[in-house]
């Protein structure tokens, strides 16, 4: 049985993630300078941007693992468990992005929420993957769960380009990408840019660490459910033998 504390490799990864997040907190809250326009409000960027970035990665991994499961010859349930774990963590990071975005909006726009294209599409993405997780909890065998959730994951991931390019397609209050936009005039202080990329890297490693642990938990849950099913079948056979 897998250890609940993980392997030595995952424990070392956890130490690295904690160290990077602590460094990000110090850089974001104290060392990096304030923005000339937004002041200290810009510090929310070091959580807001990496969180939606990580959510995109998580949902991409969910779709990739789902595609491998559907097209693979052996159709290992390990792919489905990684897809499910990644989907759960993606929902968590979208929630963080929505909360921090609302806080940022309150400080810059004067309100927590507007029916802006980026905000609305992100909220719809969040609801879609809540539905994905709900579908995974429906009754049936593990393979039935894997098949139906894989199809949904491949459809849901198509929303990510809609969310990302919503500020370009529609007139949005949300600013366009700066660092990733070659046409943008990026004027970030060196430490601000370092803190932003540190956040992207730290959150990505945090995602990997969480997926490794969560997929192990899902494997144990499946094994426990299988043993329960086997016990129920044995009990049913005994009832049938006793009545005959």
| pTM flag (> 0.75) | yes
The backbone region for 39, taken as left when phi is positive above 0, alpha when psi lies in -120 to 50, beta otherwise, is left
User: CB–CB of 48/97 below 8 Å?
Assistant: yes
Tell me the three state secondary structure of residue 112.
coil
**What confidence category does residue 149 fall into, taking pLDDT thresholds of 50, 70 and 90?**
very high
pLDDT computed for residue 178 by the predictor? 54
**What confidence category does residue 2 fall into, taking pLDDT thresholds of 50, 70 and 90?**
very low
pLDDT computed for residue 116 by the predictor? 80
| pLDDT greater than 80 at residue 61 | yes
pLDDT computed for residue 183 by the predictor? 54
The backbone region for 172, taken as left when phi is positive above 0, alpha when psi lies in -120 to 50, beta otherwise, is beta
Pick the residue with more confidence: 125 or 179?
A: 125
Model confidence pLDDT, tens digit, residues 169-198: 556 555 555 555 555 455 566 788 888 999
**Structure letter (DSSP) for residue 81:** H
Q: What is the CA radius of gyration of the chain?
A: 22
């Amino acid at each position: 049985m897998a250890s609940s504390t993980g392997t030595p490799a995952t424990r070392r990864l956890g130490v690295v993630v904690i160290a990077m997040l602590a460094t990000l907190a110090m850089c974001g809250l104290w060392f990096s300078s304030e923005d000339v326009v937004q002041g200290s409000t810009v510090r929310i960027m070091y959580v807001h941007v990496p969180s939606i970035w990580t959510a995109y990665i998580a949902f991409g991994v969910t779709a990739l693992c789902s595609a491998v499961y559907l097209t693979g010859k052996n159709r290992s349930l390990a792919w489905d468990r990684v897809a499910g774990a990644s989907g759960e963590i993606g929902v968590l990071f979208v929630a963080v992005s929505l909360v921090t975005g609302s806080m940022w909006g309150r400080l810059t726009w004067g309100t927590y929420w507007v029916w802006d294209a980026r905000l609305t599409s992100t909220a719809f993405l969040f609801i879609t993957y809540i539905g994905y997780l709900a579908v995974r909890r429906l009754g049936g065998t593990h393979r039935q769960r894997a098949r139906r959730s894989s199809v949904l994951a491949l459809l849901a991931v198509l929303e990510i380009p809609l969310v990302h390019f919503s500020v370009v397609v529609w007139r949005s209050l949300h600013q366009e990408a700066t660092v990733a936009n070659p046409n943008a005039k990026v004027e970030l202080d060196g430490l601000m840019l370092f803190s932003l990329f540190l956040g992207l890297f730290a959150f990505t490693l945090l995602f990997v660490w969480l997926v490794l642990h969560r997929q192990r938990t899902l494997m144990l849950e499946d094994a426990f459910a299988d043993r329960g099913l086997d016990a129920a079948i044995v009990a049913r056979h005994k009832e049938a033998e006793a009545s005959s």
